[in-house]
Amino acid sequence: VLTRSSEDVIRRYMEVVAEVPEEDCIICMDQLSSPSSYETPPSSEDGVQSVLPDTVGKFITCGHTLHMLCMLAMYNNGTKDGSLQCPSCKTIYGEKTGTQPKGKMEIYSIAQSLPGHPDCGTIQIIYSVPPGVQGPEHPNPGQLYTCRGFPRFCFLPDNDKGRKVLELLKVAWMRRLIFTVGTSSTTGEPDTVVWNGIHHKTEMMSNLSGHGYPDPNYLDNVLSELASQGVTEDCLKPP
C-alpha cells in the first residue's frame, strides 16, 4: 500500500493561490490575508518547504479557498485515508473511507414483494458484525465494542433502482462506510456498532418503526446519502 504524507494529500487536491481573495477561511473564520494560527508541521526530510501559515489553497474542482494549514490540521484530525472533503461545499476528493469494524455482508433474494413495490421480488441484505477491540480510528482505542441487533436484516426492491442501490451499498461496505463505532442514539449505549448515516430498511412488510415499507422516497433518499459519502454511479464504471 502506498502511503502519502498528509501534505502530499493536501497538495494533490489543492493549489496555492497567488492573489489572496478578501474572504474568511471557513475553518478558522479568520481572514485569508492573515495567517492561520495552526502550528506549521516540521519540514520533511527531503527539505521540501512545508505548508506555511499564510499559504492559501484552492480546491482543484470546486474552487473554494482556505488556509492550507487549516485544511492540513483538519485532515490530520480525521481518519487520514488519503481523501479530502471541502468544508465549504462537501465535495469529496479521492475515496472517502470510514471506520466500520470487521464483519460480513450477505445478499439473498426473496420472491415476496415489498409493500409499494408489487411488481418485483425483494433483495435481502444481512449484515453480521461480531464484537471486537477498537482500533486507533475508533473513539476509545483498545477498549471493546459491543454489537446490538446483529445480524441486521435489510430489504430493497429487486428492480433496476434497487439493484443499483445494492451495488452502491457494496461499494460503501468495502469502503467501511455502513457502520461505525460510537454511541447509539436509540439506546444511548457507548462503544457499540451503529449505523453511519446511510439509511437501511430493516422492516419488510410494515412500517411501524419508520424504517420499513412502503416509503416511496426511500431509494432516492439513500442514493443521496450514499452520494454525500462519495459513493455515486461513477464508482460502478470501470476505470
Binding site for ligand APR (CB under 6 A): 149, 152, 184-186, 194-195, 200, 202, 209, 211
The Cα–Cα gap between 47 and 122 comes to: 58
Instruction: Look at the block and give the residue holding cell 457494496.
Output: 170
Contacts of 27 (CB under 8 A, 6+ apart): 66, 67, 70, 71, 73, 74, 87
List the single partner that 152 binds among Zn ion, ligand APR, none, CB under 5 to 8 Å by kind.
ligand APR
Distance CA 186, CA 97 (A): 24
138 binds, among Zn ion, ligand APR, none (CB under 5 to 8 A by kind): none
Contact 108, 121 (CB under 8 A): no
Angle at 235 between CA 57 and CA 79, to 5 degrees: 50
Which among ligand APR, Zn ion, none contacts residue 36 (Cβ within 5 to 8 A by kind)?
Zn ion
Which lies closer to ligand APR via its Cβ, residue 70 or residue 198? Answer: 198
Closest to ligand APR by CB, 72 or 194: 194
Alpha-carbon separation of residue 155 from 12, 196, 223, 232 (angstroms): 39, 17, 15, 20
25 binds, among ligand APR, Zn ion, none (CB under 5 to 8 A by kind): Zn ion
Supply the minimum distance, in Å, between the C-beta of residue 67 and Zn ion: 3
Ranges within 10-69 binding Zn ion (CB under 5 A): 25, 27-28, 36, 62, 64, 67
Contact residues toward Zn ion (CB under 5 A) are 25, 27-28, 36, 62, 64, 67, 70, 86, 88-89, 91
